[in-house]
Amino acid sequence: MSPVVTPDTSSSGATPNPAPRTEKQMVLSVRGASKRYGAVQALGGADLDLHAGEVVALVGDNGAGKSTLVKVISGAVQSDSGSITFEGREVRIGRPQDAQALGITTVFQDLALCENLDVVANLFLGTESRHYGVLGEIPMERRARDLLTSLDVRIKDVRSPVAALSGGQRQSVAIARALLGEPKVVILDEPTAALGVEQTAQVLGLIGRLRERGLAVLLISHNLADVRQVSDRIAVLRLGRNAGTFETASVSQETVVGAITGAGA
């Protein structure tokens, strides 16, 4: 069982962080990914680069190939052609487990939480700490609390069932759970789609803290306001191909919309 990333774990060592992020390291690189479903060319040679400590927003109209690209990276489907490079070496992601093993984790839109279980139980679902089959509740609750605190996720009682939480809190729990496996890449599928203003702000704040942890974050979103607020780069897909990658800080809304719709081309 891997230890949870907590802000105080590194305080004792001589090297505070294993990977200094003075310059952003390339973590994941997709080249020329293609996928055809029958007569539909969902992806037609798309590229994508993800760096450590960077939030990349993947945007595009419906049917642009966003979900297919995400599925290729997370192992849910296999691309027909193209290559994936992870931390400098070429890898094959044939199954979701392969992606997990590499350190690529995906938080899907439905969150996959058990609403009848409490926050701790959900965080450790499938990876419970145990002694001879008996749950180790205390270490789990402690790790859960430390993890949530380090992410600045505010949940009054980690023993209350997930059903009693707000939408933003649930999204935060799902993201926190993804972090327990110590991933290097986190893919978030429409994390703010069902949330109100206040809760969207909470989740965007959390995404910012993922970047601070040095994670490569891929954010799929329809909401350009959210994308502008939290991302470092915006990758636009159109009809299964790249329609431009922009630095969020310097690009105008019109340029992005133009790339999405193809009007500006």
Task: Please report, as ranges, the residues that interact with another protein according to CB under 8 A.
Answer: 7, 16-17, 20-22, 53, 111-117, 121, 125-128, 130, 133-135, 138-139, 141-142, 145, 149, 152, 154, 156-157, 160-164, 201-202, 204-205, 208-209, 211-213, 228-230, 232, 248-249
Q: Tokens representing 178?
A: 């993804």
For the bound state, the minimum distance from the C-beta of residue 48 to another protein, rounded and expressed in Å, comes to 20
Query: Which lies closer to another protein via its Cβ, residue 115 or residue 182?
Result: 115
**Closest to 222 in 3D by CA, of 73, 58, 110, 70:** 58
Q: Are 92 and 84 in contact (CB under 8 A)?
A: yes
Taking the complex as a whole, the smallest distance from the CB of residue 118 to another protein amounts, in Å, to 10
Q: Is the dihedral of CA 34, 223, 85, 6 positive or negative?
A: negative
Shortest Å, Cβ 4 to another protein = 14
Contact 61, 53 (CB under 8 A): no
DSSP code for 65: S
38 vs 133 by CB, closer to another protein: 133
* CB-nearer residue toward another protein: 8 or 263: 8
Q: Can you tell me the distance from the alpha carbon of 25 to that of 155, in angstroms, rounded to the nearest whole number?
A: 33
Burial (CB < 10 A; 0-12, 13-18, 19+), residue 200, is buried
The 3-state DSSP class for residue 180 equals helix
In whole angstroms, the minimum distance from the beta carbon of 231 to another protein comes to 9
Instruction: Give the strand order in the sheet containing 89-91.
Output: 40-51, 26-37, 81-86, 89-91
Query: Rounded to the nearest whole angstrom, what is the least distance from the CB of residue 53 to another protein in the complex?
Result: 6
DSSP state of 9: G
Q: Which of 58, 40, 41 lies closest to 49, judged by CA?
A: 58
CB of 217 to another protein, least distance (A): 12
Nearer to another protein, 43 or 173 (CB): 173
Which lies closer to another protein via its Cβ, residue 83 or residue 97?
A: 97
**Among the listed residues 155, 145, 144, the one whose alpha carbon sits nearest the alpha carbon of residue 202:** 155
CB of 125 to another protein, least distance (A): 4
Q: In this complex, which beta carbon is closest to another protein, that of residue 28 or of residue 113?
A: 113
Instruction: Compare residues 90 and 152 and give the one whose CB is closer to another protein.
Output: 152
